[in-house]
Structure 1
């Protein structure tokens, strides 16, 4: 019985931004739990490479190349996924970017670039997938938030603003869709060693600060986000709505 609560066999899952980093790790984890996974990104070449990496470990997957910042492309992409593979049961809205710059120097185009991907893109995907899930009376949506949904840091104003907004988008969609059998929750990673954080990982001063600041005393590994995501995508979380699950080594729990 307890294993069945985390079994995703027969479920179709779309993970945006999954050609690398956190998205790739989550796609692999969902597939290992039994889901049929659709990889998404803007670059078809990167998607094919990610699909090949999964195939090397015996995991079959599908790909869907579209830009999450384009609402028409999102709608067409999700419609095509359902036409080819059947109803979408799980959406993991992961696609995101980071731009670091002092706020007094940040041009409007940089602000909009980050918000367009990290907030608008999540909204377009949630709306396109969510309206189908609401009509069917079931579905699981997991937004990938951040410790910056709760905490601020210098030089990342648009990123922190977008992740704070995702927290409230997650809660608002819960308020609308929970009664229709659609679970909307968020996973909020702390600091993880990924392509986006490479400069910080290699910065000895920052890593020293991080290891002292985080109770667990280290950077996170992307595989450590899989359990939380599988939980929020699986029957085990059927009565969990509007929740942000922080996977941050204790960072947001301490001063």
Structure 2
């Protein structure tokens, strides 16, 4: 990929050099060339070519330098934005887990009260709930990490799924996940453009003195636990 970038930039440079050579020939023909001269007079032999390619080199370098600096700034900005969205998403998921925890405690207290009032054993209560197609998470802790898991949980409880505020919380988590995904894509896209640009000619010649170094793509470390693997 880097070799292709260098080849492409060299082709652009050569094309621009020839174009500017023609421009300098026109300038010399209109300024220092006598009217009766058959050929364009140059300050020295090959001046048009020299000035043309020199201007192409300078123009190309300035353009690439400014583009690299702009991309570098966008990378910093997108990285900062990504961290803010991650914090926002983490706070929303934490709020969802606190809601679940509170709901579980209320469910557990309700079952305890029912058990005391009716003197029904725990096994009989579970059997009754199964027959009524009711689900309870009172005997185990639930920890959600995504909108999908949270949505699955609240769908099991009509009092939660029909609550407008709970729906708003779910929508906020979904939106934050979408923003997070789009931000990661945009960040890696900027990094790809930046890494490609700093290897283009002529910027590649001064890449190290200007401290333009390749940036690593954004990747998240996925921790695979024994519980996930069932071992």
- TM-score, normalised to structure 2's length? 0.21
- TM-score, normalised to structure 1's length? 0.19
